[in-house]
Structure 1
Amino acid sequence: MADDSRTHVPQIRIPATYMRGGTSKGVFFRLQDLPESARSPGEARDRLLMRVIGSPDPYQKQIDGMGGATSSTSKTVILSKSESPDHDVDYLFGQVSIDKPFVDWSGNCGNLSAAVGPFAISNGLVDASRIPANGVATVRIWQANIGKTIISHVPITNGEVQETGDFELDGVTFPAAEVPVEFMDPADGAGAMFPTGNLVDELEVPGVGFLQATMINAGIPTIFLDAEQLGYTGTELQEAINGDAEALARFETIRAHGALRMGLIQDVAEAVNRQHTPKVAFVARPADYVSSSGKSIKASDVDLLVRALSMGKLHHAMMGTAAVAIGTAAAIPGTLVNLAAGGGDRSSVLFGHPSGTLRVGAEASKVDGQWTATKAIMSRSARVLMEGVVRVPGDSF
């Protein structure tokens, strides 16, 4: 047998924690634990995270890594003590492409945001004086991807994060402790909440036609469409969309042209390397359907139905950032989301998604003719699944 010891670099060990946050899961790192070349943005960091997750994988299985071969499970988080005096922790999120060699840093993950506070407390990133022996710790998070503040309310028992509980979240199999998360000033980036200046636009998409669209920057840039105009009912589950290659291609074309209209890209060709943002979702008035778990959802149970795509596929539940966009758009009379919910003024909305239902609250107001949102809030849960070290070949980054 050939001696490979001189030609192949051994694996290295990097402290890491595998966590579920909301309906997503990802690999969490403390910035200080990363190899020195990966502590700052760049190719080394991206290559390391791709190798940890198991990308790029032409088989789209991520067998040789920690990823779960879906947009909800191909995620990485880097946390550090905040450099800002009014925040506790800096939070950087990397969405790892499954089959292509890149990490998308263009947006936040709202679901994993629920796990940031618990991780930060358990890993010494929050000052001990801010953690009660029993009660709720308020963790002030700086979301570095989009430059926004997130406030996480983490339950504490005997000085440690309380993970177990009876809070049930559709899309998550087992109950856990409730973690309310507030997304402050959720309009994404420095631009207007409605980058086109309109609550509803006519979006021209080659090969598709003219579509009504609400394009909003809140939580994450999102393009909301009318389900009926697309030939859908809003009751669809994953297979109805993900098993239809033509539908997926059509949604990607819509997403690219919406991104162009929102000013997120300068040419539609750029969309292929910006898969994480914007999101595409379609909305419909309430209707009866059976969720992916077999749970019966009645039209009377919800205010509207929403189906959203992430990284080119219909999401199994709802992205947390897209839920922020839903709640914010629902609070603004005249958007497609607001109209699907029956119109009028509302401070919260309960919507149906493929796995069940979710409530999100938002506060929006008009200032000098421009809509603005002060915050959006929803409850999630989080849990450590495994902690220790992750291994990668030493020459893979």
Structure 2
Amino acid sequence: MTHAPQIKVPATYMRGGTSKGVFFRLQDLPQTAQLPGAARDALLLRVIGSPDPYGKQIDGMGGATSSTSKAVILARSSKEGHDVDYLFGQVAIDKAFVDWSGNCGNLSAAVGSFAISGGMVDPERIPENGIATVRIWQANIGKTIIAHVPITSGEVQETGEFALDGVTFPAAEVQLEFMDPAAAEDDGEGGSMFPTGHLIDDLDVPGIGTFKATMINAGIPTIFLNAADIGYTGTELQDAINRDAAALARFETIRAHGAVRMGLIKHVTEAARLQHTPKVAFVAPPAAYVSSSGKEVSSTDVDLLVRAMSMGKLHHAMMGTAAVAIGTAAAIPGTLVNLAAGGGSPSAVRFGHPSGTLRVGAQATFSNGEWSVCKAIMSRSARVLMEGWVRVPGDSF
């Protein structure tokens, strides 16, 4: 029997924020994978090592968590006023499925660096020393991200002293601005920032209960619940939830019904094909806890506590897009996030997550009876882990 040999595809393995992923330039992909469709999805699934019934992704680049089962495709931008088009794929671990429905805020921190190093930014816009501003078109959600990338001697600077909870070693700080992060009214069904029209709703989940919920579409569609209403304190670490199969099933049911209320799907049975969105998060007022690294977090260190689910599991830190949702909701008086943070109109909050704390800011305004947010700001870091070629069997896509 004849077997197809492996092919090699130019790729870079990068950390961005608290996530890792395989980065490609669109022009470097095999011809059949340069367009959206089955061939592209099959290629990325094989690169990452999915679907894997063992849940380990041993035969691929994935790390068997939602934070490490990711792929990014970049190209020179076709959008006026932008440098690079950024397309993100969340690769399922145990299913043959790539979710293109949302962005990855963490990997957004690596996009500017990769774009500069990959020759996708005009050299005249890159200083010899200083900060390069990379204008990113986030193609999944149709939004602009501005990355401020440090440059030393004409090259991207990756080393530094910026510490990010959830990442072991310090690196250079990359500031991100998520412009107009909330969905616009003309984005389609469920497209407004508050798709139900309310800051707080009663979300009825048959067989489980009715919960107060803030459902917001900013950064990524997110369903916020009060921790106490679902039996938690907001100080939980991953094992408290991820080892509880019944809890995971409850969260998935809540997510499915919330997705229907947000207009993202028409029936709960469709939630399985939209694994990346929406997210479910629960909030609580400040409290002391010990993070997953053993670091003590005092109640005075944070404005509120947030825990978030990603791809069916409690995230080890916080998704960047969910952080945008947190910052946006916190800035708007009357949301569950805002109330957990003590109310008022904060321009920035520091929240506690399983790995530590994170600060995120948002600029919210109220006009003509509606809230809007012009941008959300946070700092991340990014680093190249490996570059060269990734190999896959030639008949796998």
TM-score, length-scaled by structure 1 = 0.98
Structure 2 matches for 1:227-306, cutoff 5 A?
A: 227-306=227-306
The alpha-carbon deviation at position 84 of structure 1 amounts to 1.8
The reply to whether residue 112 of structure 1 matches residue 120 of structure 2 is no
Aligned to 1:140: 135
Q: Unaligned stretches of 5+ in structure 2? A: none
Mapped partners of 2:14, 2:331: distance in 1? 32
Which whole-Å deviations, capped at 9, do the CAs of 1:127-182 have from their partners, x for residues lacking one?
10100000000000000000000000000000000000000000000000000000
Count of equivalent residues:
392
The reply to whether residue 154 of structure 1 matches residue 149 of structure 2 is yes
Aligned to 2:362: 362
The reply to whether residue 80 of structure 1 matches residue 79 of structure 2 is no
Mapped partners of 1:303, 1:310: distance in 2? 22
Contact 1:306 1:353 in 2 (8 A): yes
The reply to whether residue 164 of structure 1 matches residue 164 of structure 2 is no
The alpha-carbon deviation at position 367 of structure 1 amounts to 2.4
Aligned to 1:57: 52
TM-score, length-scaled by structure 2 = 0.98
Mapped partners of 1:41, 1:366: distance in 2? 39
Report the secondary structure of 1:266's partner residue. Answer: coil
The one-letter code sitting in structure 2 at the alignment partner of 1:19 is M
- What is the identity percentage for the equivalent residue pairs of Structure 1 and Structure 2? 79
Mapped partners of 1:309, 1:168: distance in 2? 23
Mapped partners of 1:130, 1:116: distance in 2? 16
Mapped partners of 2:254, 2:348: distance in 1? 28
The reply to whether residue 68 of structure 1 matches residue 34 of structure 2 is no
Structure 2 matches for 1:166-245, cutoff 5 A?
A: 166-188=161-183, 190=187, 191-245=191-245
The reply to whether residue 43 of structure 1 matches residue 35 of structure 2 is no
The alpha-carbon deviation at position 370 of structure 1 amounts to 1.5
Which whole-Å deviations, capped at 9, do the CAs of 1:314-368 have from their partners, x for residues lacking one?
0000000000000000000000000000001110000000000000000111222
Aligned to 1:101: 96
Report the secondary structure of 1:71's partner residue. Answer: coil
Aligned to 2:313: 313
Aligned to 2:26: 31
Q: Unaligned stretches of 5+ in structure 1? A: none
Contact 1:188 1:221 in 2 (8 A): no
The one-letter code sitting in structure 1 at the alignment partner of 2:254 is I
Mapped partners of 1:251, 1:187: distance in 2? 24
Mapped partners of 1:234, 1:56: distance in 2? 32
Aligned to 1:380: 380
The one-letter code sitting in structure 2 at the alignment partner of 1:384 is V
The one-letter code sitting in structure 1 at the alignment partner of 2:283 is V
The alpha-carbon deviation at position 89 of structure 1 amounts to 0.2
Report the secondary structure of 1:292's partner residue. Answer: coil
Contact 1:90 1:141 in 2 (8 A): yes
Mapped partners of 2:233, 2:380: distance in 1? 27
